[in-house]
Chain A
Protein backbone atom coordinates (compact mmCIF):
# COMPACT_ATOMS: atom_id res chain seq x y z
CA UNK A 1 0.00 0.00 0.00
CA UNK A 2 2.72 2.46 0.98
CA UNK A 3 4.61 1.27 -2.07
CA UNK A 4 1.87 2.39 -4.46
CA UNK A 5 1.57 5.68 -2.61
CA UNK A 6 5.30 6.20 -2.87
CA UNK A 7 5.28 5.44 -6.56
CA UNK A 8 2.37 7.81 -7.10
CA UNK A 9 4.32 10.64 -5.47
CA UNK A 10 7.28 9.71 -7.62
CA UNK A 11 5.12 9.85 -10.74
CA UNK A 12 3.82 13.31 -9.83
CA UNK A 13 7.31 14.66 -9.08
CA UNK A 14 8.61 13.29 -12.35
CA UNK A 15 5.71 14.83 -14.22
CA UNK A 16 6.18 18.25 -12.63
CA UNK A 17 9.89 18.09 -13.35
CA UNK A 18 9.26 17.48 -17.03
CA UNK A 19 6.65 20.24 -17.20
CA UNK A 20 9.36 22.59 -15.93
CA UNK A 21 11.88 21.30 -18.46
CA UNK A 22 9.32 21.65 -21.26
CA UNK A 23 8.54 25.21 -20.17
CA UNK A 24 12.23 26.16 -20.21
CA UNK A 25 12.59 24.53 -23.62
CA UNK A 26 9.72 26.49 -25.11
CA UNK A 27 10.60 29.76 -23.39
CA UNK A 28 12.94 31.25 -26.04
CA UNK A 29 10.43 30.54 -28.81
CA UNK A 30 7.60 31.94 -26.70
CA UNK A 31 9.66 35.10 -26.18
CA UNK A 32 10.08 35.37 -29.92
CA UNK A 33 6.37 34.82 -30.57
CA UNK A 34 5.26 37.39 -27.98
CA UNK A 35 7.79 39.94 -29.21
CA UNK A 36 6.56 39.59 -32.76
CA UNK A 37 3.36 41.29 -31.63
CA UNK A 38 5.24 44.39 -30.45
CA UNK A 39 6.92 47.03 -32.59
CA UNK A 40 10.61 46.42 -33.20
CA UNK A 41 11.47 49.84 -31.76
CA UNK A 42 10.19 48.59 -28.36
CA UNK A 43 12.64 45.77 -28.60
CA UNK A 44 15.55 48.09 -29.27
CA UNK A 45 14.61 50.31 -26.36
CA UNK A 46 13.51 47.82 -23.71
CA UNK A 47 15.03 44.49 -24.72
CA UNK A 48 13.50 41.10 -25.42
CA UNK A 49 11.13 40.14 -22.63
CA UNK A 50 7.61 39.03 -21.82
CA UNK A 51 6.26 42.40 -20.70
CA UNK A 52 3.71 43.22 -23.33
CA UNK A 53 0.76 45.51 -23.29
CA UNK A 54 -1.86 43.17 -24.72
CA UNK A 55 -4.19 46.06 -25.48
CA UNK A 56 -1.62 47.37 -27.95
CA UNK A 57 -0.48 44.03 -29.29
CA UNK A 58 -0.90 43.89 -33.04
CA UNK A 59 0.13 42.17 -36.21
CA UNK A 60 1.88 45.21 -37.69
CA UNK A 61 5.23 43.44 -37.84
CA UNK A 62 3.68 40.70 -39.93
CA UNK A 63 1.93 43.25 -42.11
CA UNK A 64 5.29 44.90 -42.72
CA UNK A 65 6.78 41.49 -43.46
CA UNK A 66 4.15 40.80 -46.11
CA UNK A 67 4.13 44.36 -47.49
CA UNK A 68 6.64 43.43 -50.19
CA UNK A 69 8.82 46.41 -49.23
CA UNK A 70 11.66 44.16 -48.16
CA UNK A 71 13.60 41.21 -49.52
CA UNK A 72 12.28 38.70 -46.97
CA UNK A 73 10.21 36.66 -49.38
CA UNK A 74 12.96 36.68 -51.99
CA UNK A 75 15.15 34.97 -49.39
CA UNK A 76 12.29 32.69 -48.46
CA UNK A 77 11.85 31.69 -52.09
CA UNK A 78 15.61 31.18 -52.54
CA UNK A 79 15.76 28.93 -49.50
CA UNK A 80 12.70 27.01 -50.61
CA UNK A 81 14.03 26.40 -54.13
CA UNK A 82 17.48 25.41 -52.89
CA UNK A 83 16.01 23.08 -50.29
CA UNK A 84 13.67 21.36 -52.73
CA UNK A 85 16.30 20.94 -55.47
CA UNK A 86 18.96 19.83 -53.05
CA UNK A 87 16.76 17.34 -51.23
CA UNK A 88 15.55 15.85 -54.49
CA UNK A 89 19.00 15.48 -56.01
CA UNK A 90 20.74 14.42 -52.81
CA UNK A 91 18.11 11.77 -52.07
CA UNK A 92 18.23 10.28 -55.54
CA UNK A 93 22.01 10.33 -55.98
CA UNK A 94 22.75 9.18 -52.45
CA UNK A 95 20.26 6.36 -52.86
CA UNK A 96 22.07 5.28 -56.05
CA UNK A 97 25.40 5.28 -54.29
CA UNK A 98 24.06 3.55 -51.19
CA UNK A 99 22.46 0.92 -53.40
CA UNK A 100 25.73 0.36 -55.25
CA UNK A 101 27.53 -0.21 -51.97
CA UNK A 102 24.85 -2.42 -50.46
CA UNK A 103 24.08 -4.73 -53.36
CA UNK A 104 27.28 -5.25 -55.35
CA UNK A 105 30.78 -6.51 -54.74
CA UNK A 106 33.24 -4.67 -56.90
CA UNK A 107 36.89 -3.80 -57.00
CA UNK A 108 37.79 -0.81 -54.85
CA UNK A 109 34.54 -0.97 -52.89
CA UNK A 110 36.19 -0.94 -49.49
CA UNK A 111 38.46 1.97 -50.27
CA UNK A 112 35.57 3.93 -51.72
CA UNK A 113 33.47 3.27 -48.68
CA UNK A 114 36.31 4.46 -46.48
CA UNK A 115 36.18 7.68 -48.51
CA UNK A 116 32.47 7.99 -47.70
CA UNK A 117 33.28 7.63 -44.01
CA UNK A 118 36.10 10.15 -44.35
CA UNK A 119 33.82 12.79 -45.86
CA UNK A 120 31.27 12.02 -43.17
CA UNK A 121 33.84 12.60 -40.43
CA UNK A 122 35.48 15.78 -41.65
CA UNK A 123 33.38 18.85 -40.81
CA UNK A 124 32.78 21.05 -43.90
CA UNK A 125 34.35 23.94 -42.02
CA UNK A 126 37.74 22.29 -42.54
CA UNK A 127 37.61 22.76 -46.31
CA UNK A 128 35.59 25.97 -46.25
CA UNK A 129 38.31 28.06 -47.89
CA UNK A 130 39.54 25.74 -50.69
CA UNK A 131 35.94 24.81 -51.49
CA UNK A 132 35.06 28.48 -51.73
CA UNK A 133 38.01 29.12 -54.05
CA UNK A 134 36.88 26.23 -56.21
CA UNK A 135 33.37 27.66 -56.45
CA UNK A 136 34.92 31.02 -57.42
CA UNK A 137 36.86 29.29 -60.19
CA UNK A 138 33.70 27.57 -61.37
CA UNK A 139 32.05 31.03 -61.51
CA UNK A 140 29.24 29.86 -59.26
CA UNK A 141 29.40 32.64 -56.66
CA UNK A 142 25.97 34.14 -56.07
CA UNK A 143 24.46 31.16 -57.81
CA UNK A 144 22.25 28.57 -56.16
CA UNK A 145 24.29 25.80 -57.78
CA UNK A 146 27.31 27.02 -55.86
CA UNK A 147 25.40 26.22 -52.69
CA UNK A 148 24.01 22.91 -53.92
CA UNK A 149 26.80 21.23 -55.89
CA UNK A 150 29.20 20.34 -53.05
CA UNK A 151 26.32 18.62 -51.22
CA UNK A 152 24.97 16.57 -54.10
CA UNK A 153 25.95 13.26 -52.55
CA UNK A 154 25.52 13.33 -48.79
CA UNK A 155 27.68 10.71 -47.02
CA UNK A 156 25.25 10.48 -44.14
CA UNK A 157 22.45 9.54 -46.57
CA UNK A 158 24.70 7.08 -48.43
CA UNK A 159 25.53 5.43 -45.14
CA UNK A 160 21.89 5.26 -44.15
CA UNK A 161 20.62 3.88 -47.49
CA UNK A 162 23.37 1.27 -47.54
CA UNK A 163 22.37 0.19 -44.04
CA UNK A 164 18.70 0.15 -44.98
CA UNK A 165 19.23 -1.90 -48.13
CA UNK A 166 21.65 -4.38 -46.61
CA UNK A 167 18.63 -6.07 -45.04
CA UNK A 168 17.36 -7.11 -48.47
CA UNK A 169 18.66 -10.53 -49.57
CA UNK A 170 20.72 -10.55 -52.74
CA UNK A 171 18.86 -13.61 -54.09
CA UNK A 172 16.09 -11.16 -54.64
CA UNK A 173 18.21 -9.43 -57.28
CA UNK A 174 19.12 -12.70 -58.98
CA UNK A 175 15.46 -13.62 -59.23
CA UNK A 176 14.73 -10.29 -60.89
CA UNK A 177 17.66 -10.80 -63.28
CA UNK A 178 16.34 -14.19 -64.27
CA UNK A 179 13.05 -12.51 -65.04
CA UNK A 180 14.91 -10.30 -67.52
CA UNK A 181 15.18 -7.14 -65.45
CA UNK A 182 18.25 -5.01 -66.20
CA UNK A 183 20.54 -3.78 -63.43
CA UNK A 184 18.99 -0.32 -63.59
CA UNK A 185 15.50 -1.70 -63.98
CA UNK A 186 15.94 -3.48 -60.67
CA UNK A 187 16.92 -0.23 -59.01
CA UNK A 188 14.15 1.88 -60.48
CA UNK A 189 11.30 -0.60 -60.53
CA UNK A 190 11.98 -2.69 -57.44
CA UNK A 191 14.32 -0.91 -55.07
CA UNK A 192 13.01 2.65 -55.16
CA UNK A 193 9.50 1.56 -54.19
CA UNK A 194 11.04 -0.53 -51.39
CA UNK A 195 12.98 2.48 -50.15
CA UNK A 196 10.00 4.83 -49.91
CA UNK A 197 9.75 4.84 -46.09
CA UNK A 198 13.40 5.73 -45.78
CA UNK A 199 13.02 8.52 -48.32
CA UNK A 200 10.57 10.27 -46.01
CA UNK A 201 12.88 10.23 -43.00
CA UNK A 202 15.98 11.07 -44.98
CA UNK A 203 14.18 13.77 -46.97
CA UNK A 204 13.27 15.49 -43.73
CA UNK A 205 16.81 15.10 -42.41
CA UNK A 206 18.28 16.64 -45.54
CA UNK A 207 15.52 19.23 -45.78
CA UNK A 208 16.30 20.49 -42.30
CA UNK A 209 19.99 20.63 -43.14
CA UNK A 210 19.43 22.63 -46.32
CA UNK A 211 16.77 24.93 -44.91
CA UNK A 212 18.83 25.80 -41.83
CA UNK A 213 22.28 25.82 -43.43
CA UNK A 214 23.99 29.10 -42.68
CA UNK A 215 27.76 29.17 -43.05
CA UNK A 216 28.15 27.81 -46.57
CA UNK A 217 25.38 29.92 -48.17
CA UNK A 218 26.76 32.97 -46.37
CA UNK A 219 30.18 32.36 -47.89
CA UNK A 220 28.93 31.61 -51.40
CA UNK A 221 26.28 34.32 -51.81
CA UNK A 222 26.47 38.03 -51.08
CA UNK A 223 23.97 39.96 -53.17
CA UNK A 224 20.69 40.73 -51.42
CA UNK A 225 18.56 38.94 -54.00
CA UNK A 226 20.58 35.72 -53.96
CA UNK A 227 21.06 35.05 -50.24
CA UNK A 228 19.05 32.43 -48.37
CA UNK A 229 16.69 33.01 -45.48
CA UNK A 230 19.15 32.33 -42.60
CA UNK A 231 21.75 34.58 -44.22
CA UNK A 232 19.16 37.27 -44.78
CA UNK A 233 17.88 37.12 -41.21
CA UNK A 234 21.43 37.39 -39.94
CA UNK A 235 21.92 40.54 -42.02
CA UNK A 236 19.03 42.16 -40.11
CA UNK A 237 20.72 41.77 -36.77
CA UNK A 238 22.03 45.34 -36.74
CA UNK A 239 19.43 47.53 -35.05
CA UNK A 240 18.85 50.07 -37.83
CA UNK A 241 15.56 51.30 -39.22
CA UNK A 242 12.85 48.67 -39.12
CA UNK A 243 15.32 45.76 -39.21
CA UNK A 244 14.11 44.33 -35.91
CA UNK A 245 10.47 44.27 -37.00
CA UNK A 246 11.31 42.07 -39.93
CA UNK A 247 13.89 40.10 -37.95
CA UNK A 248 11.48 39.02 -35.22
CA UNK A 249 8.39 38.44 -37.33
CA UNK A 250 10.59 36.87 -40.01
CA UNK A 251 12.22 34.50 -37.53
CA UNK A 252 8.79 33.38 -36.36
CA UNK A 253 7.61 32.93 -39.89
CA UNK A 254 10.71 30.88 -40.69
CA UNK A 255 9.92 28.41 -37.91
CA UNK A 256 6.15 28.13 -38.34
CA UNK A 257 6.14 25.94 -41.50
CA UNK A 258 8.72 23.60 -39.97
CA UNK A 259 6.72 23.42 -36.77
CA UNK A 260 3.58 22.50 -38.71
CA UNK A 261 5.46 19.85 -40.68
CA UNK A 262 6.92 18.54 -37.43
CA UNK A 263 3.52 18.21 -35.80
CA UNK A 264 2.19 16.31 -38.85
CA UNK A 265 5.19 14.05 -39.48
CA UNK A 266 6.82 13.75 -36.06
CA UNK A 267 7.80 10.14 -36.52
CA UNK A 268 9.79 10.86 -39.69
CA UNK A 269 11.46 13.89 -38.16
CA UNK A 270 12.70 11.97 -35.16
CA UNK A 271 13.65 8.97 -37.28
CA UNK A 272 15.49 11.15 -39.78
CA UNK A 273 17.28 13.44 -37.41
CA UNK A 274 18.48 10.65 -35.15
CA UNK A 275 19.31 8.24 -37.99
CA UNK A 276 23.00 8.46 -37.20
CA UNK A 277 22.47 6.94 -33.80
CA UNK A 278 20.68 3.88 -35.12
CA UNK A 279 23.90 2.36 -36.33
CA UNK A 280 25.22 2.34 -32.72
Chain B
Protein backbone atom coordinates (compact mmCIF):
# COMPACT_ATOMS: atom_id res chain seq x y z
CA UNK B 1 0.00 0.00 0.00
CA UNK B 2 2.73 2.39 1.00
CA UNK B 3 4.89 1.33 -1.93
CA UNK B 4 2.06 1.99 -4.32
CA UNK B 5 1.61 5.50 -3.05
CA UNK B 6 5.32 6.19 -3.50
CA UNK B 7 5.08 5.08 -7.11
CA UNK B 8 1.99 7.16 -7.51
CA UNK B 9 3.64 10.19 -6.01
CA UNK B 10 6.60 9.71 -8.32
CA UNK B 11 4.46 9.38 -11.42
CA UNK B 12 2.28 12.31 -10.43
CA UNK B 13 5.12 14.71 -9.67
CA UNK B 14 5.55 17.70 -11.93
CA UNK B 15 9.05 16.53 -12.81
CA UNK B 16 8.01 13.14 -14.10
CA UNK B 17 4.65 13.96 -15.69
CA UNK B 18 6.12 15.51 -18.87
CA UNK B 19 8.06 12.32 -19.54
CA UNK B 20 4.91 10.29 -19.14
CA UNK B 21 3.20 12.54 -21.68
CA UNK B 22 5.96 12.29 -24.29
CA UNK B 23 6.64 8.60 -23.61
CA UNK B 24 4.49 7.37 -26.54
CA UNK B 25 6.70 9.34 -28.86
CA UNK B 26 9.93 8.18 -27.26
CA UNK B 27 8.82 4.57 -27.59
CA UNK B 28 7.59 4.70 -31.17
CA UNK B 29 10.60 6.79 -32.17
CA UNK B 30 13.05 4.32 -30.66
CA UNK B 31 11.32 1.15 -31.84
CA UNK B 32 10.20 2.09 -35.31
CA UNK B 33 12.26 5.02 -36.48
CA UNK B 34 15.67 4.91 -34.82
CA UNK B 35 15.87 1.12 -34.98
CA UNK B 36 14.92 1.15 -38.67
CA UNK B 37 17.45 3.82 -39.56
CA UNK B 38 20.26 2.06 -37.69
CA UNK B 39 19.47 -1.37 -39.09
CA UNK B 40 19.19 0.12 -42.58
CA UNK B 41 22.61 1.76 -42.32
CA UNK B 42 24.12 -1.49 -41.03
CA UNK B 43 22.48 -3.58 -43.72
CA UNK B 44 23.73 -1.24 -46.43
CA UNK B 45 27.27 -2.46 -45.66
CA UNK B 46 26.26 -6.12 -45.58
CA UNK B 47 25.36 -8.95 -47.85
CA UNK B 48 22.17 -10.37 -46.38
CA UNK B 49 21.19 -13.93 -47.24
CA UNK B 50 18.53 -15.28 -44.93
CA UNK B 51 19.92 -15.18 -41.42
CA UNK B 52 23.52 -14.91 -42.61
CA UNK B 53 25.01 -11.49 -42.96
CA UNK B 54 28.53 -10.71 -44.08
CA UNK B 55 30.21 -7.34 -43.99
CA UNK B 56 31.15 -6.30 -47.51
CA UNK B 57 32.08 -2.65 -47.04
CA UNK B 58 30.96 -0.34 -49.81
CA UNK B 59 30.12 -3.09 -52.33
CA UNK B 60 26.41 -2.30 -52.25
CA UNK B 61 27.07 1.34 -52.95
CA UNK B 62 29.43 0.46 -55.81
CA UNK B 63 26.69 -1.59 -57.44
CA UNK B 64 24.52 1.51 -57.39
CA UNK B 65 26.63 3.18 -60.05
CA UNK B 66 24.80 1.02 -62.61
CA UNK B 67 22.79 2.66 -65.38
CA UNK B 68 19.36 1.53 -64.18
CA UNK B 69 19.79 2.98 -60.70
CA UNK B 70 21.15 6.25 -62.07
CA UNK B 71 18.17 6.40 -64.40
CA UNK B 72 15.76 5.95 -61.51
CA UNK B 73 17.53 8.69 -59.56
CA UNK B 74 17.40 10.93 -62.59
CA UNK B 75 13.68 10.17 -63.01
CA UNK B 76 12.95 11.12 -59.40
CA UNK B 77 14.94 14.34 -59.64
CA UNK B 78 13.31 15.22 -62.95
CA UNK B 79 9.83 14.56 -61.56
CA UNK B 80 10.62 16.63 -58.48
CA UNK B 81 11.97 19.60 -60.44
CA UNK B 82 9.09 19.73 -62.90
CA UNK B 83 6.43 19.29 -60.21
CA UNK B 84 8.03 22.11 -58.19
CA UNK B 85 8.05 24.35 -61.26
CA UNK B 86 4.37 23.57 -61.88
CA UNK B 87 2.97 23.29 -58.40
CA UNK B 88 4.12 26.66 -57.12
CA UNK B 89 3.17 29.30 -59.73
CA UNK B 90 -0.06 27.68 -60.90
CA UNK B 91 -1.69 27.36 -57.45
CA UNK B 92 -0.33 30.79 -56.49
CA UNK B 93 -1.93 32.48 -59.50
CA UNK B 94 -5.19 30.58 -59.05
CA UNK B 95 -5.28 31.59 -55.38
CA UNK B 96 -4.61 35.24 -56.24
CA UNK B 97 -7.37 35.16 -58.85
CA UNK B 98 -9.78 33.43 -56.49
CA UNK B 99 -8.96 35.93 -53.77
CA UNK B 100 -9.66 38.89 -56.05
CA UNK B 101 -12.54 41.13 -55.03
CA UNK B 102 -14.01 40.68 -58.50
CA UNK B 103 -14.48 36.98 -57.92
CA UNK B 104 -17.90 35.47 -57.24
CA UNK B 105 -18.78 32.15 -55.52
CA UNK B 106 -15.29 31.84 -54.07
CA UNK B 107 -16.23 29.17 -51.55
CA UNK B 108 -17.79 26.88 -54.15
CA UNK B 109 -14.80 26.97 -56.47
CA UNK B 110 -12.40 26.53 -53.58
CA UNK B 111 -14.23 23.37 -52.52
CA UNK B 112 -14.45 21.95 -56.05
CA UNK B 113 -10.73 22.42 -56.64
CA UNK B 114 -10.05 20.68 -53.35
CA UNK B 115 -12.05 17.53 -54.20
CA UNK B 116 -9.24 15.65 -56.03
CA UNK B 117 -7.19 15.73 -52.82
CA UNK B 118 -9.86 13.52 -51.24
CA UNK B 119 -9.19 10.65 -53.63
CA UNK B 120 -6.58 8.06 -52.85
CA UNK B 121 -3.65 7.56 -55.15
CA UNK B 122 -5.30 4.28 -56.10
CA UNK B 123 -8.60 5.73 -57.29
CA UNK B 124 -6.80 8.61 -59.01
CA UNK B 125 -4.36 6.17 -60.56
CA UNK B 126 -7.14 3.89 -61.81
CA UNK B 127 -8.91 6.78 -63.53
CA UNK B 128 -5.76 8.20 -65.08
CA UNK B 129 -4.53 4.80 -66.24
CA UNK B 130 -7.82 4.28 -68.04
CA UNK B 131 -8.16 7.87 -69.28
CA UNK B 132 -4.70 7.65 -70.79
CA UNK B 133 -5.35 4.13 -72.07
CA UNK B 134 -4.11 2.99 -75.46
CA UNK B 135 -7.53 2.20 -76.92
CA UNK B 136 -8.95 4.46 -79.58
CA UNK B 137 -11.90 5.18 -77.33
CA UNK B 138 -9.86 6.07 -74.25
CA UNK B 139 -10.75 9.57 -73.18
CA UNK B 140 -7.43 11.26 -73.95
CA UNK B 141 -7.24 9.62 -77.37
CA UNK B 142 -10.76 10.88 -78.10
CA UNK B 143 -9.57 14.36 -77.17
CA UNK B 144 -6.52 13.98 -79.40
CA UNK B 145 -8.81 12.82 -82.19
CA UNK B 146 -10.54 16.22 -82.05
CA UNK B 147 -7.20 17.72 -83.05
CA UNK B 148 -6.72 15.10 -85.76
CA UNK B 149 -4.04 13.20 -83.86
CA UNK B 150 -3.85 9.42 -84.23
CA UNK B 151 -4.41 7.34 -81.06
CA UNK B 152 -1.38 7.40 -78.79
CA UNK B 153 -0.04 4.62 -76.60
CA UNK B 154 0.44 7.00 -73.71
CA UNK B 155 2.12 4.73 -71.24
CA UNK B 156 4.96 3.57 -73.44
CA UNK B 157 7.13 6.48 -74.62
CA UNK B 158 8.92 8.69 -72.05
CA UNK B 159 7.33 11.98 -73.17
CA UNK B 160 3.74 10.78 -72.90
CA UNK B 161 4.43 8.86 -69.68
CA UNK B 162 5.72 12.03 -68.06
CA UNK B 163 2.79 14.04 -69.39
CA UNK B 164 0.45 11.53 -67.71
CA UNK B 165 2.35 11.65 -64.42
CA UNK B 166 2.43 15.45 -64.38
CA UNK B 167 -1.27 15.66 -65.17
CA UNK B 168 -1.97 13.28 -62.31
CA UNK B 169 0.11 15.38 -59.94
CA UNK B 170 -1.43 18.63 -61.17
CA UNK B 171 -4.91 17.24 -60.79
CA UNK B 172 -4.45 15.90 -57.28
CA UNK B 173 -2.42 18.66 -55.67
CA UNK B 174 -3.35 22.01 -57.27
CA UNK B 175 -6.29 22.43 -54.92
CA UNK B 176 -4.28 21.71 -51.77
CA UNK B 177 -1.43 24.04 -52.71
CA UNK B 178 -3.94 26.69 -53.69
CA UNK B 179 -5.42 26.37 -50.20
CA UNK B 180 -2.01 27.04 -48.66
CA UNK B 181 -1.67 30.15 -50.81
CA UNK B 182 -5.18 31.32 -49.98
CA UNK B 183 -4.43 31.18 -46.27
CA UNK B 184 -1.14 32.96 -46.96
CA UNK B 185 -2.94 35.65 -48.92
CA UNK B 186 -5.43 36.24 -46.16
CA UNK B 187 -2.60 37.13 -43.82
CA UNK B 188 -1.46 40.02 -46.04
CA UNK B 189 -2.99 43.22 -44.63
CA UNK B 190 -5.43 44.83 -47.07
CA UNK B 191 -4.18 48.37 -46.39
CA UNK B 192 -0.86 47.48 -48.04
CA UNK B 193 -2.72 47.18 -51.32
CA UNK B 194 -4.76 50.30 -50.64
CA UNK B 195 -1.75 52.50 -50.05
CA UNK B 196 -0.01 50.94 -53.05
CA UNK B 197 -2.92 51.76 -55.33
CA UNK B 198 -3.05 55.30 -53.93
CA UNK B 199 0.62 55.59 -54.90
CA UNK B 200 -0.43 54.51 -58.38
CA UNK B 201 0.90 50.94 -58.41
CA UNK B 202 -0.68 48.76 -61.08
CA UNK B 203 -2.08 45.32 -60.38
CA UNK B 204 1.03 43.67 -61.80
CA UNK B 205 3.30 45.84 -59.66
CA UNK B 206 1.29 44.96 -56.58
CA UNK B 207 1.67 41.29 -57.40
CA UNK B 208 5.41 41.71 -57.98
CA UNK B 209 6.24 43.86 -54.97
CA UNK B 210 3.64 42.92 -52.35
CA UNK B 211 1.97 39.57 -53.00
CA UNK B 212 4.89 37.40 -54.11
CA UNK B 213 7.41 38.60 -51.48
CA UNK B 214 4.90 38.30 -48.63
CA UNK B 215 3.95 34.80 -49.75
CA UNK B 216 7.54 33.66 -49.40
CA UNK B 217 6.97 31.59 -46.21
CA UNK B 218 4.10 29.76 -47.93
CA UNK B 219 6.23 29.23 -51.02
CA UNK B 220 9.05 27.76 -48.96
CA UNK B 221 6.63 25.41 -47.26
CA UNK B 222 5.03 24.31 -50.53
CA UNK B 223 8.47 23.88 -52.08
CA UNK B 224 9.61 21.69 -49.18
CA UNK B 225 6.62 19.35 -49.28
CA UNK B 226 6.82 19.23 -53.08
CA UNK B 227 10.48 18.22 -52.97
CA UNK B 228 9.88 15.44 -50.43
CA UNK B 229 6.69 14.31 -52.16
CA UNK B 230 8.45 14.33 -55.52
CA UNK B 231 11.50 12.40 -54.38
CA UNK B 232 9.27 9.83 -52.63
CA UNK B 233 7.03 9.35 -55.67
CA UNK B 234 6.32 5.70 -56.34
CA UNK B 235 2.65 4.82 -55.91
CA UNK B 236 1.61 6.98 -58.86
CA UNK B 237 3.94 5.13 -61.18
CA UNK B 238 2.95 1.82 -59.59
CA UNK B 239 -0.71 2.52 -60.32
CA UNK B 240 -0.26 3.75 -63.89
CA UNK B 241 1.73 0.66 -64.88
CA UNK B 242 -0.19 -1.75 -62.63
CA UNK B 243 3.00 -2.69 -60.82
CA UNK B 244 6.60 -1.62 -60.50
CA UNK B 245 7.27 -2.30 -64.17
CA UNK B 246 7.33 0.64 -66.54
CA UNK B 247 8.61 -0.21 -70.05
CA UNK B 248 12.36 0.33 -70.27
CA UNK B 249 12.20 1.88 -66.76
CA UNK B 250 10.77 5.15 -68.11
CA UNK B 251 9.02 5.86 -64.84
CA UNK B 252 11.05 3.83 -62.34
CA UNK B 253 11.83 6.10 -59.43
CA UNK B 254 14.24 6.01 -56.52
CA UNK B 255 11.63 4.37 -54.28
CA UNK B 256 10.72 2.10 -57.20
CA UNK B 257 14.31 0.83 -57.24
CA UNK B 258 14.27 0.42 -53.48
CA UNK B 259 11.07 -1.58 -53.75
CA UNK B 260 12.43 -3.70 -56.60
CA UNK B 261 15.63 -4.55 -54.76
CA UNK B 262 14.14 -4.99 -51.30
CA UNK B 263 10.81 -6.62 -52.03
CA UNK B 264 11.02 -8.14 -55.50
CA UNK B 265 14.63 -9.31 -55.84
CA UNK B 266 15.51 -9.84 -52.19
CA UNK B 267 18.69 -7.75 -52.45
CA UNK B 268 18.35 -6.33 -48.98
CA UNK B 269 21.82 -4.81 -48.83
CA UNK B 270 21.40 -2.90 -52.06
CA UNK B 271 17.90 -1.77 -51.11
CA UNK B 272 19.28 -0.49 -47.80
CA UNK B 273 22.03 1.39 -49.61
CA UNK B 274 19.35 3.08 -51.73
CA UNK B 275 17.49 3.94 -48.53
CA UNK B 276 20.62 5.50 -47.06
CA UNK B 277 21.21 7.58 -50.19
CA UNK B 278 17.59 8.70 -50.07
CA UNK B 279 17.98 9.64 -46.41
CA UNK B 280 21.10 11.68 -47.20
CA UNK B 281 19.24 13.52 -49.97
CA UNK B 282 16.37 14.30 -47.59
CA UNK B 283 18.75 15.59 -44.91
CA UNK B 284 20.69 17.70 -47.43
CA UNK B 285 17.49 19.29 -48.72
CA UNK B 286 16.51 20.03 -45.15
CA UNK B 287 19.80 21.67 -44.32
CA UNK B 288 19.39 23.98 -47.30
CA UNK B 289 15.79 24.68 -46.42
CA UNK B 290 16.65 25.44 -42.78
CA UNK B 291 19.34 27.86 -43.88
CA UNK B 292 16.96 29.75 -46.15
CA UNK B 293 14.28 29.73 -43.48
CA UNK B 294 16.80 30.85 -40.87
CA UNK B 295 17.84 33.90 -42.80
CA UNK B 296 14.22 34.86 -43.30
CA UNK B 297 13.49 34.38 -39.62
CA UNK B 298 16.34 36.63 -38.59
CA UNK B 299 15.21 39.31 -41.03
CA UNK B 300 11.79 39.20 -39.50
CA UNK B 301 13.26 39.53 -36.03
CA UNK B 302 15.23 42.65 -36.85
Which A positions have Cβ atoms within 8 angstroms of B?
7, 10-11, 14-15, 17-18, 21-22, 25-26, 28-29, 31-32, 35, 43, 45-51, 93-94, 96-97, 99-101, 103-106, 109, 112, 115-116, 118-119, 121-123, 125-134, 149-150, 152-153, 158, 177, 182-184, 187, 208, 211-215, 219, 230-231, 233-234, 237-238, 247-248, 251, 254-255, 258-259, 262, 266, 269-270, 273-274, 276-280
Contact = CB atoms under 8 A, between A and B. Distances in A.
Given A25-B171, A32-B127, A116 B25 contact: yes
B126 interface: yes
A270 B32 contact: no
A212 B33 contact: no
Given A15-B103, A17-B97, A129-B275, A104 B136 contact: no
Nearest to B43: A130
Contact of A153 (B28, B112, B113, B118): B28
Contact of A112 (B22, B102, B111): B22
A52 B265 CA distance: 44
A28 B128 contact: yes
A112 B26 contact: yes
Of the candidates B25, B129, B131, B279, the one having the most CB atoms from chain A within 10 angstroms of its own CB is B25
B97 A29 contact: no
B147 to A, nearest CB: 16
Given A99-B21, A129-B40, A237-B129, A277 B139 contact: no
B255 A125 contact: yes
Given A11-B103, A131-B36, A248-B126, 20 more contacts: A18-B97, A26-B115, A47-B136, A49-B142, A112-B26, A115-B29, A119-B29, A130-B39, A152-B24, A208-B118, A233-B122, A234-B238, A247-B126, A269-B114, A273-B117, A274-B176, A277-B180, A277-B183, A277-B218, A280-B217
B225 to A, nearest CB: 7
A46 B135 contact: yes
A238 B245 CA distance: 14
20 contacts: A10-B102, A18-B97, A35-B130, A93-B24, A104-B21, A123-B232, A127-B40, A129-B40, A130-B39, A130-B43, A134-B39, A214-B120, A237-B129, A238-B242, A254-B123, A262-B114, A273-B179, A274-B183, A280-B218, A280-B221
Interface stretch (B11-19, B65-73, B205-213): B11-19
A100 B234 contact: no
Contacts of A277: 179-180, 183-184, 218, 221-222
Nearest to B138: A47
Nearest to B243: A237
Nearest to A183: B17
A214 to B, nearest CB: 5
B55 interface: no
Nearest to B229: A123
Find the residue from B24, B31, B176 having the highest chain A CB count within 10 A: B24
A159 to B, nearest CB: 11
A104 B18 contact: yes
A234 B32 contact: no
Of B137, B238, B239, most buried by chain A (CB within 10 Å of CB) is B137
Contact of B118 (A21, A258, A276, A279): A258
A16 to B, nearest CB: 11
Contact of A119 (B18, B33, B171): B33
A127 B22 contact: no
Contacts of B85: none
Interface in B94-120: 94, 97-98, 100, 102-105, 109-120
Contacts of A259: 115, 118
Contact of A21 (B94, B120, B234): B94
Interface string B240-274: 00100000000000010011001100001001100
Interface string B133-171: 101111101100000000000000000000000000001
A68 to B, nearest CB: 22
Contacts of A279: 221
Contact of B131 (A31, A119, A182, A254): A31
Contacts of A276: 221, 225
B120 A126 contact: no
A134 B39 CA distance: 10
Contact of B109 (A22, A51, A125): A22
Contacts of B110: 270
Nearest to B8: A182
Contacts of B100: 14
Contacts of A149: 28, 32
Nearest to B123: A251
Given A31-B127, A128-B259, A214-B122, A25 B175 contact: yes
Interface string B173-195: 01110011001100000000000
A97 B25 contact: yes
CB-CB nearest 3 A-B residue pairs: A100-B21, A212-B120, A47-B138
B121 A251 contact: no
B151 to A, nearest CB: 9
B171 A28 contact: yes
B164 to A, nearest CB: 12
